[in-house]
């Protein structure tokens, strides 16, 4: 049986979806169809959504799961009438917190994901721009301003990790690709001159050669670039360089970008400029 889960919010829906997905991920044996419904910020919209939820219950033969972060009392009242198993995140957690803190919550719509403090928001934007400007070794003269420099072979996950660090934590991350141009006379990789002064900022990414070959095949099929021999050689050389230069590194093969980033922060002690959104 397929169950349907609705993540409902009168704001962006990011909080409801993030928590909802985290909770439902614990039930691997159940097939769950997940639907996010943001900006349900009026009684009319809520009534329309209740009709959809009730129709879904009839279609599925089981009540949908409703996870919401609705702030407006009138809208919450309408949603509460839907046929579904309800997880009201705000009432579940805010009411006990109000008692503990001896004060009422402001119940502000969208306060988690709004611009909020301008300095934090601008720091986030600046960090994203920095990651884009310093992607793939395009520029190296700004490395003195980088919080961290990701190093690894092409297509091992440097760019998405750099952007995630910037967007979620305000960390200024540059990244540099290791290529054949960085080979020494004996065929082993050497630390590129652009990176040498910033060795203390380096963090390596590696990946299983078979996975790397599959990723590269999508970009340049039937090329030397995606061949198994080439991928194995590059990965071995990169890992050898990391060990020789005492550069910490992580295997990205089985980790998500979120896991790679948080493990990196934990290992390096990098300071987050703000909490994740």
Q: Name residues of the chain where pLDDT drops below 70.
A: 106-118, 274-277
Domain presence at residue 231: yes
pTM over 0.75: no
Q: Pull the structure tokens for residue 202.
A: 């380096």
The torsion angles phi and psi of 248, rounded to 5 degrees, stand at: -65, 145
**What is the span of the domain harbouring residue 247?**
119-268
- N- to C-terminal Cα distance for the chain? 34
Q: Specify whether 73 is located in the same domain as 131.
A: no
Q: Do 137 and 232 reside in the same domain of the chain? A: yes
129 and 196, same structural domain? yes
| Residue 114 resides in a domain | no
Question: Rounded to the nearest 10 degrees, what angle do helices 89-101 and 14-24 cross at?
Answer: 100
140 shares its domain with 15? no
Query: How many domains does one find in the chain?
Result: 2
Question: Domain holding 182: CATH number?
Answer: 3.40.50
Binding site listing for ADP? 152-159
Phi and psi torsions of 136, nearest 5°:
60, 35
**107 in any annotated domain:** no
Query: Which residues are documented as binding site?
Result: 152-159
Q: Quick check: helix, strand or coil at residue 112? A: coil
Q: Is 192 helix (H, G, I), strand (E, B) or coil?
A: coil
d(CA 215, CA 198): 29
Tell whether 71 and 148 lie within a shared domain. no
End-of-domain residue from the set 67, 101, 135:
101
Q: Which two tokens stand for residue 19?
A: 């928590």
Domain boundary among 50, 72, 101: 101
Residues 126 and 262 in one domain: yes
pLDDT of residue 143: 96
């Amino acid at each position: 049986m397929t169950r349907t889960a609705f993540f409902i919010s009168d704001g962006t829906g990011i909080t409801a979806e993030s928590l909802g997905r985290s909770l439902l991920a614990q039930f691997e044996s159940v097939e769950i169809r997940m639907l996010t419904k943001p900006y349900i910020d009026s009684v009319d919209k809520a009534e329309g959504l209740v009709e959809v939820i009730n129709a879904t219950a009839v279609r599925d033969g089981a009540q949908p799961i409703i996870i919401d972060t609705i702030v407006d009392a009138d809208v919450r009242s309408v949603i509460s009438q839907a046929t579904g198993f309800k997880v009201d995140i705000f009432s579940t957690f805010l009411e006990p917190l109000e008692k503990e803190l001896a004060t009422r919550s402001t119940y502000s719509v969208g306060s988690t994901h709004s611009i909020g403090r301008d300095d934090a928001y601008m720091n986030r934007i600046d960090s994203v721009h920095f990651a884009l400007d310093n992607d793939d070794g395009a520029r190296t003269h700004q490395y003195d301003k980088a919080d961290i420099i990701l190093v690894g072979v092409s297509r091992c996950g440097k760019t998405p990790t750099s952007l995630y660090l910037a967007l979620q934590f305000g960390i200024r991350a540059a990244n540099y690709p290791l290529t054949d141009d960085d080979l020494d006379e004996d065929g082993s990789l050497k630390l590129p001159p652009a990176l040498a002064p910033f060795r203390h900022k380096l963090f390596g990414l590696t990946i299983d050669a078979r996975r790397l070959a599959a990723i590269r095949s999508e970009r340049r099929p039937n090329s030397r670039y995606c061949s198994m021999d080439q991928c194995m050689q590059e990965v071995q050389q990169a890992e050898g360089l990391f060990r020789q230069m005492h550069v910490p590194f992580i295997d990205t093969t089985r980790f998500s970008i979120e896991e790679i980033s948080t493990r990196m922060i934990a290992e390096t002690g990098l300071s987050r400029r703000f909490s994740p959104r």
